[in-house]
Structure 1
Amino acid sequence: MNTIEGWTEVAFNNRDPVYLQVVRHFKERIATGKLAAGQETPSRRELGTLMKINPNTVQKAYKEMEEQQLIITEGNSPSRITNDKELLNQIRSELIGEAIGAFVASVRKIDVPIEELLQLVKNKYEEGEPEHD
């Protein structure tokens, strides 16, 4: 699998620190299978160039991911995605939980009965809208 593919697709927002958005991008790629356990990540310099961000920002993101044990860096070897299956499952659950939390917070204001809401969600989900990266 090519480690460079898809790294320039990030649209950074102005609310959150860029390094945390990079970490989130890694988590999303892991959760969707675009990054596999044990897969080599781009070098810090390479990722900075691809994403058009400061190499120091990438370094901060990598440090954060190492602290969260999302990536493993041994000696002078390239960093790799963790092989920890439990952690990889937690990433997926975390992202799903965040999305559901934001969704529920926004629709709760509309006061839709739960049965109607569940049917609407089911219908929309089954429409098979194209995925967005």
Structure 2
Amino acid sequence: MNITFNNRDPVYLQVVRYFKEQIAIGHFAAGQEIPSRRELAALLKINPNTAQKAYKEMEEQGLIHTERNFPSRITSDEAMLSSVREELIHEAVETFVQAIKPIKVPVNELLDIIKEKYEREEKEG
């Protein structure tokens, strides 16, 4: 696990986002066992209470489930898993739109720029 934490957002929310990103790209599969809270805290060098808070948040969102005396697992709810990808896309687009809106770039020009940049990144990446 490799997360670079920023100083803006609470660490537990950054952990939740990391899990969502890993689900969206298929690194975490439905029903997959995930590290214990203590293991996660050690892996990421974060406070165990922060790991606990991240897991609690993910459980409340339905991303993971935990049964007594068993490891936590990624949800098996396929609808939930597919909605994670959509949520991340919508968040990114919303942030982008809010940043670009004051510049008043025509939509067609903007789409051309985005397509060109995206394709260039794919070739280089």
Q: What residue in structure 1 maps to residue 69 of structure 2?
A: 76
Q: 1:77-133 deviations in whole A, cap 9, x for unaligned?
A: 110000101111111111000000111111112221111111111111122142xxx
TM-score normalised per structure 2: 0.93
TM-score normalised per structure 1: 0.88
For the aligned residue pairs, the C-alpha RMSD in angstroms reads 1.0
Find out whether 1:92 has 2:85 as its counterpart.
yes
Q: What residue in structure 2 maps to residue 58 of structure 1?
A: 51
Q: Segments of 4+ in structure 1 off by > 2 A?
A: none
Q: What residue in structure 1 maps to residue 22 of structure 2?
A: 29
Give me the identity figure in percent: 63
Question: 90, 99, 102: which is aligned to 1:106?
Answer: 99
SS of equivalent residue, structure 2 residue 103 = coil
Between the aligned partners of 1:15 and 1:76, the Cα distance in structure 2 is 35
User: Following TM superposition, by how much is the alpha carbon of 1:15 offset from its aligned partner in structure 2, in angstroms?
Assistant: 1.7
List alignment gaps of at least 5 residues for structure 2. Answer: none
List alignment gaps of at least 5 residues for structure 1. Answer: 1-6
Q: What residue in structure 2 maps to residue 11 of structure 1?
A: 4
Amino acid at match of 2:48: P
**Superposition map of 1:41-56 within 5 A:** 41-56=34-49
Indicate the structure with greater helix content: 2
User: Following TM superposition, by how much is the alpha carbon of 1:13 offset from its aligned partner in structure 2, in angstroms?
Assistant: 1.5
